[in-house]
Structure 1
Amino acid sequence: MHIRRSLPFLAGALLVPLLAACGGEDKSDAKESTSLTVLAAASLTDVFKQAGAAYEKEHPGTKVTFSFAGSQELAAQVRQGAPADALVTADTKTMEDLRKDTGSPTVIAKNRLTIATAKDNPKNVKSLSDLSRDDLKVVLAAPEVPVGRYSKKVLDQQHVTVKPASQEPNVRAVLSKVSLGEADAGIVYVTDATTAKNKISTTPIPDAQNAVASYPAATLKNSKHADQAADFVKWLSTDEAQKLLRTAGFQQP
């Protein structure tokens, strides 16, 4: 009698680990999430935060993390083997110099330069030639930075000599100096000026005197998520991503 009453208990005890084992198999079969790291030019900071959110919404299980810096800093990170999956620079030269480390690049957007001045332009800056005035404190990006190279190009073409108060590591640093009142003027991208329109004023640079910045995107060969990285780079050329870029002021590729 005692033995018969024990049988149901034993059967239940044996069934518990069996069910646990089955549950464990289901959990192991669950789809793992993917985390992508994208190195991106500083001028893409605002729009890429929006783009990342849109991409994640379309691709459940994929998390996109951005590292923003000057393109020359991003290039240094790639050469040092920093763990990342994709790269977007603010010029084609930087990307071309990294061709052994990347997949085939695709230009996703273009940009132009503008002169950023203190709010309401108190020093009355009207053109590139005004940036050579002795009464102005002008900041530029360093020549190693794409926006710094573009700035030098447009100034040289107009035979304008500027003695910058400082040379900054990226375009956002130039914008910050002007918006904080630490400089009277600086050359930035049109899109960056738009993000600070309540803190600065702008003096347009005519198209004939301006420079066009191209933004190529590419996967990195050391990515641990090659397929997902390629998908993200491809997505940057879709209508949804391009709409975000246009709204932010970037031009068509």
Structure 2
Amino acid sequence: MTVRRLTAAGAAALVLALGATACGSDGGSGTGSGTTNSGATAPATASAGVPKASGSITVFAAASLKETFTDLGKKFEAANPGAKVTFNFGGSSALATSINSGAPADVFAAASPATMKTVTDAGGAAGEPKTFVRNTLAIAVPKGNPKHLTGLADLAAPGVKVALCAKEVPCGAAALTALKAANVQLTPVTLEQDVKGALTKVELGEVDASLVYRTDVRADAGKIDGVDFPEAAKAVNDYPIAALAKAPNKDGAAAFVAYIQSPEAQQVLTAAGFQAP
């Protein structure tokens, strides 16, 4: 799924639509337009077309978003002094299961449309999810690349220990797609539940390589090296985001979703190696 980056007017329209959906839900915890979650009056929109927010906002986000979303959360709070953003980072599939099981959350940012669909199929999203970035894979190796790995075929060589994400996790599904495109079969020594787990195995020297996102390689460049491979183009992941239907802070959820699609947030994300949608 491909969407254009929202303009300020487009972001405002999106928020109005999400707010209308939220007000019609059975959650009962949202407030009308122009009020915060605590009932205090707030400006309808910020100068950049993103609504102001207050109160606690809980964001469930894919592990690969940890560095950028942590940064963006601080920027969002600075622009909204009454808001406090709390993150729960993890494997998208596990986060989706938690949301469907009733875990209190305001926003879900997934690493694949398939995991987001788990939530939307259960009626958990307030409005249509929007793709805000894309990501591709790279081979993470220890500093200096001691095994001299140059591509996916090298991962199947005798004596090479590889970590992959589990197939239910977006990074695992993408890895299987890339390996199939390269006609490479291998048996990983471990299957991790999120991309950070696979990366940590390389950091600790427990494996010779893992398939992770290029953004994770960049974020961890001080500890590991990365190897690009052409088949990564066959396994590009779209990242959708949505406010949740049962969000305790519906106005805050809509504001955060709009902010992530704003030019300021997009600049941070692309600087970290994510691709614009």
- Whether the TM-score (by the shorter chain) exceeds 0.5 is yes
In structure 1, the gaps of 5 or more residues are 1-27
Aligned twin of 2:71 = 50
SS of match in other structure, 1:40: strand
TM alignment of 1:150-161, pairs within 5 A: 150-161=174-185
Once the two structures are superposed, residues 12-64 of structure 1 have per-residue CA deviations (whole angstroms, 9 ceiling, x without a partner) of xxxxxxxxxxxxxxxx9977950000000000000001000000111110111
Aligned twin of 2:238 = 214
Report the Cα distance in structure 2 between the residues aligned to 1:247 and 1:209, rounded to whole angstroms.
19
Residue 122 (1) aligns with residue 146 (2): yes
Report the Cα distance in structure 2 between the residues aligned to 1:143 and 1:125, rounded to whole angstroms.
23
Aligned twin of 1:19 = none
In structure 2, the gaps of 5 or more residues are 1-37, 43-53
Q: Which moved more, 1:34-43 or 1:220-229?
A: 220-229
Contact 2:130/2:241, CA 8 A, preserved across alignment: yes
**Which of 108, 126, 147 in structure 1 is aligned with 2:171?**
147
Once the two structures are superposed, residues 71-123 of structure 1 have per-residue CA deviations (whole angstroms, 9 ceiling, x without a partner) of 01101111110011010000011111211111210111111100111111110
Q: Which moved more, 1:207-216 or 1:193-202?
A: 207-216
Aligned twin of 2:221 = 197
SS of match in other structure, 2:136: strand
Aligned twin of 1:90 = 111
Aligned twin of 2:130 = 106
Aligned twin of 1:3 = none
Report the Cα distance in structure 2 between the residues aligned to 1:29 and 1:78, rounded to whole angstroms.
25
Quote how far apart the aligned CAs of 1:144 are.
0.6
TM alignment of 1:233-252, pairs within 5 A: 233-252=257-276
Contact 2:134/2:239, CA 8 A, preserved across alignment: yes
Contact 2:243/2:257, CA 8 A, preserved across alignment: yes
What is the identity percentage for the equivalent residue pairs of Structure 1 and Structure 2? 42
Q: In structure 2, do the counterparts of structure 1 residues 29 and 36 end up closer, same or farther at CA, with 3 Å as the change threshold?
A: closer
Q: Which amino acid is 2:211 matched to?
A: I
Quote how far apart the aligned CAs of 1:131 are.
0.8
Q: Which amino acid is 2:149 matched to?
A: V
Q: In structure 2, do the counterparts of structure 1 residues 208 and 95 end up closer, same or farther at CA, with 3 Å as the change threshold?
A: closer
Quote how far apart the aligned CAs of 1:229 are.
0.6
Once the two structures are superposed, residues 114-169 of structure 1 have per-residue CA deviations (whole angstroms, 9 ceiling, x without a partner) of 01111111101011111111110111000010000000011012110110000000
Q: Which amino acid is 1:225 matched to?
A: N
Report the Cα distance in structure 2 between the residues aligned to 1:195 and 1:96, rounded to whole angstroms.
28
| Total equivalences in the alignment | 226
Q: Which amino acid is 2:180 matched to?
A: D
Report the Cα distance in structure 1 between the residues aligned to 2:40 and 2:247, rounded to whole angstroms.
23
Q: Which moved more, 1:207-216 or 1:137-146?
A: 207-216
* Consecutive aligned runs of 4 or more in structure 1 exceeding 2 Å deviation: 28-33, 207-210
Instruction: Tell me the C-alpha RMSD between the 2 structures.
Output: 1.7
Quote how far apart the aligned CAs of 1:208 are.
6.7
Report the Cα distance in structure 1 between the residues aligned to 2:160 and 2:138, rounded to whole angstroms.
17
Higher relative contact order (CA 8 A, sep 6+): 2
Residue 179 (1) aligns with residue 200 (2): no
TM-score by length of 1: 0.86
Contact 2:136/2:233, CA 8 A, preserved across alignment: no
Q: Which has the higher helix share?
A: 1
SS of match in other structure, 1:167: strand
Contact 1:157/1:209, CA 8 A, preserved across alignment: no
